């Protein structure tokens, strides 16, 4: 009869083997021959996938927002997101610093003061882009997210299906994948979009100005000083439709 010590040792070995045999999450590929200049311009955050339990709880109150990617004056990219909060437009800008091969960037989370890595896994530049981000949000809290960027507010069904396949290949479950609805029509969203949907979806709508332009500088929300401007990450999604609280990375994140 096995002694208790031997039983515990056997269970321990089984546990170790179980950990060793558990496949690690697949690593996202990188867009071959990534061309940064073609990636610039306006994108809509159309889909998200995450491993966070908080994301699963809050995903129903997330909505689509507009982001503009512009070259930064000192290298890298400025990502400026615009969204509606309490019937007022709000913008947040984050600097993406080159981090390795073309298409790889890093940014600092304003909330956690940790560095997150983001990569452009796949894009055709004119229709969609698939991004993957990973980092640490706190002690023992790894952060992983896949993002679907689309040039249009109405991505095609096959683009959504492609994103779902991409997210699942990285280990995200069906429950952890969400496609974001457009902000409800009205005067507020129209102001934030600087025009109606038709003009935004025109072939030339995603042109951007050069480095250091207004789109590349950090902006503050109404009622805040320039030094108090809030930031959000490139895969952070958009603020809640009801509260305006950013999903990830901002100073308002839980």
How many domains is the chain built from? 1
| pLDDT band, very low/low/confident/very high, at 192 (cuts 50, 70, 90) | low
The answer as to whether 33 is a domain residue is: no
**Contacts with 158 (C-beta within 8 Å, 6 or more apart), sequence order:** none
For position 233, what pLDDT does the model report? 38
Query: Can you give the C-alpha Rg of the chain in angstroms?
Result: 20
The answer as to whether 53 is a domain residue is: yes
The answer as to whether 149 is a domain residue is: yes
pTM of the model: 0.70
What residues act catalytically? 65
Query: Tell me, what CATH number does 184's domain have?
Result: 2.40.128.20
**What pLDDT digit, counting tens, does each position of 104-135 carry?**
999 987 767 788 899 999 999 999 999 999 98
The answer as to whether 239 is a domain residue is: no
Burial track 132-154 (b if 16+ CB lie within 10 A, e otherwise) = bbbbebeeeeebbbbbbbbbbbe
For position 242, what pLDDT does the model report? 38
Structure tokens, 205: 């709508």
For position 208, what pLDDT does the model report? 44
For position 231, what pLDDT does the model report? 32
The answer as to whether 146 is a domain residue is: yes
**What pLDDT digit, counting tens, does each position of 53-87 carry?**
888 888 888 888 899 999 999 889 999 998 777 77
Q: In the predicted model, what is the mean pLDDT of residues 163-189?
A: 84
Structural domain span for residue 163: 41-200
The answer as to whether 83 is a domain residue is: yes
The answer as to whether 205 is a domain residue is: no
The answer as to whether 190 is a domain residue is: yes
């Amino acid at each position: 009869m096995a002694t208790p010590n031997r039983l515990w040792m056997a269970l321990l070995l089984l546990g170790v083997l179980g950990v060793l045999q558990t496949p690690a999450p697949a690593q996202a590929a990188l867009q071959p021959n990534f061309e940064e200049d073609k990636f610039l311009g306006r994108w809509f955050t159309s889909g998200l996938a995450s491993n966070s339990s908080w994301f699963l709880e809050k995903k129903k109150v997330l909505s689509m927002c507009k982001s503009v990617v512009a070259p930064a004056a000192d290298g890298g990219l400025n990502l400026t997101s615009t969204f509606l909060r309490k019937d007022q437009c709000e913008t947040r800008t984050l600097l993406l610093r080159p981090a390795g091969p073309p298409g790889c960037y890093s940014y600092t989370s304003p909330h956690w003061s940790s560095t997150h890595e983001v990569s452009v896994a796949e894009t055709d530049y004119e229709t969609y882009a698939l991004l993957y981000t990973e980092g640490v949000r706190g002690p023992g809290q790894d952060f992983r997210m896949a993002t679907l960027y689309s040039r249009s507010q109405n991505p095609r069904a096959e683009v959504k299906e492609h994103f779902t396949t991409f997210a699942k290949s990285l280990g995200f479950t069906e429950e952890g994948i969400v496609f974001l609805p457009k902000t409800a029509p009205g005067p507020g969203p129209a102001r934030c979009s600087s025009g109606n949907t038709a003009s935004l979806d025109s072939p030339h709508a995603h042109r951007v100005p050069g480095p250091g332009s207004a789109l590349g500088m950090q902006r503050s929300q109404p009622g805040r000083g320039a030094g108090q401007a809030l930031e959000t990450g490139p895969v952070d999604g958009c603020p809640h439709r009801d509260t305006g609280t950013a999903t990830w990375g901002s100073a308002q994140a839980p």
